[in-house]
Amino acid sequence: MAQAAYIHIPFCAHKCDFCDFAAFAGVDDLTPEYCDVVVKEIGQRISLEPNRDPLNSLFYGGGTPGYIAPDQLRRVHEALCQSVAITHDTEVTLETTPQSITVDKAKAWLDMGINRISIGVQSFDDNELKAMGRDHTAAQALSGIENAKTGGFVNVAMDLMYGLPEQTIDSWRRTLDTTLCLDLPHLSAYGLTIAINAPLLSRYPLSSDAYPVEESWVEMYQMLLERTREAGLDQYEISNFCRPGHHSRHNLTYWSNEEYLAFGVSAHRYVQGVRSSNFRSLRKYMRDWLGHETFERIDQKTRAKEAIFLGLRRTAGINLENFRVRYGFDIELLLSDKIKLLSDAGFLTVENGFLKLSQSGVLVSNLVLAELI
């Protein structure tokens, strides 16, 4: 049974110029009706496939779940609590932009059972924020983080991005300085990816000199590793760092290749060996909330390949014996030639029964994973 659930809240005050998620601005009037539909979907899906295990994690993503009125979010949350067991120990995360956070909202979120907040800051440089189409300033980001703390949140996570247009090594250093001085328990930092038809490309084509060159990307990532290590944060995945005991349970569900429930427009789930997703079109989803945009039954070989891809993103790597027991494949035997080649090149290591990326391998992880599987 799944022990994690994801609920997609697609509404935003403004859609960022690089975004490729199912996120919609200017349709706030649909919020009550949308929440009605999600409540129906939760009830019907759980009645069709009862989930008897209590949830270890619940994640509200978007869009900007923190943007909508707390009473609308509460309706959805209560519907899930009536259908699936949520305990006092369940990690319940809300994703939000910093300018959406007020002290009153933070208190309302805590009151309904949300105990972790993930804030998309991306940068503390106003020029970079403007370049990427964000609708907040660095000062607003700091204010939002303070509002979350004042409202009672202790478990606060933050997202950053590097490789941004107009970004330099020095501006990235300043963003890291500001971030680490906040002493938050969790940090995610991702290299910029841009949707094919993203508005950002009309202002900053991929050929633009405004983007950092490849060598700068590497230097930014190495700086991230060095500075987080100095600050006492543990790197537990390629892009994720935390203080002891503050790993994102929900992300660990994905990287451990475990099953998870999902509800809402464009939401992707993995239940009873099937990966499926809801319609990406908001109107289509609201007409047919049990319909599928995608549907794929995952066989054992595919599950094993996915487990390798996901498991090597974790700095702990893959426990080879556990993998053999769970998937029926001996990685060292089946992939011996590739493992030797990549190990000799300095990209992989096998230590104490774990297969993992080396520090050099992390820098080119996508290429290493493509070669391996």
pLDDT in tens, 206-252: 899 999 999 999 999 999 999 999 999 999 999 999 999 999 999 99
- CA dist., res. 256 & res. 307, Å (int): 7
Of all residues in the chain, what percent carry a pLDDT higher than 70?
Answer: 100
CA angle at residue 201 from 195 to 203, to 5 degrees? 150
Question: 354 pairs with which residues across the strands?
Answer: 319, 351
pLDDT of 1 reads 83
Q: Quote the CA–CA distance of 368 and 44 in Å, as a whole number.
A: 42
| Model confidence band, residue 20 (pLDDT cutoffs 50, 70, 90) | confident
Q: What was the pLDDT predicted at 19?
A: 84
User: Maximum distance among all alpha carbons in the chain?
Assistant: 58
The conformation of residue 29, written as its DSSP 8-state character, comes to G
With CA atoms as reference, report the closest residue to 191 among 173, 226, 165, 158: 165
Using pLDDT thresholds of 50, 70 and 90, give the confidence band for residue 83. Answer: very high
Structural contact between residues 152 and 115, judged by C-beta atoms closer than 8 angstroms? no
Long-range contacts of 344-347 (CB under 8 A, 24+ apart): none
Q: Is the dihedral of CA 132, 134, 139, 144 positive or negative?
A: negative
CA end-to-end span of the chain, whole Å? Answer: 27
284 pLDDT more than 90: yes
| Coil/strand/helix, residue 260 | strand
Q: Which helix (H) or strand (E) holds 325?
A: helix 320-327
Would you say residue 144 has pLDDT above 90? yes
Beta strands in 123-185 (DSSP E): 156-162
Which of the four pLDDT bands, split at 50, 70 and 90, describes residue 27?
very high
Q: In what order do the strands lie in the sheet with 86-96?
A: 234-237, 240-242, 186-191, 156-162, 116-122, 86-96, 55-62, 4-9, 261-263
- Worst-scoring range by mean pLDDT, 82-96, 125-139, 196-210, 262-276? 196-210
Average pLDDT of the residues of the chain: 95
pLDDT band at 187 (very low <50, low <70, confident <90, very high): very high
Q: Is the pLDDT of residue 105 over 90?
A: yes
The pLDDT of residue 29 is 96
Amino acid symbol at 332: E
Instruction: Provide the edge-to-edge strand list for the sheet that holds 268-271.
Output: 268-271, 274-277, 294-297
C-alpha–C-alpha distance, residues 356 and 225, integer Å: 17
Question: How far, in Å, CA of 237 to CA of 365, rounded?
Answer: 12
Residue 51 has pLDDT above 80, yes or no: no
Given this model, what pLDDT does residue 7 score? 98
Parts of the chain belonging to CATH 3.20.20.70: 4-255
Tokens in use for 94? 């809300």
Average the pLDDT over 266-280 and give the result. Answer: 96
* Distance, CA of 77 to CA of 68 (rounded, Å): 13
Could you give the percent of the chain with pLDDT greater than 90?
85
The pLDDT of residue 329 is: 87
Strand 86-96 versus strand 116-122 pairing type: parallel
pLDDT for residue 195 is more than 90: no
Residue 30 has pLDDT above 90, yes or no: yes
Predicted confidence at residue 371, as pLDDT, reads 86
Please tell me the CATH superfamily of domain 4-255, with its number. Aldolase class I (3.20.20.70)
pLDDT, mean of residues 192-204: 88
pLDDT above 90 (res 182):
yes
What's the pLDDT at 364? 87
pLDDT of amino acid 222: 95
Q: Global pTM?
A: 0.95
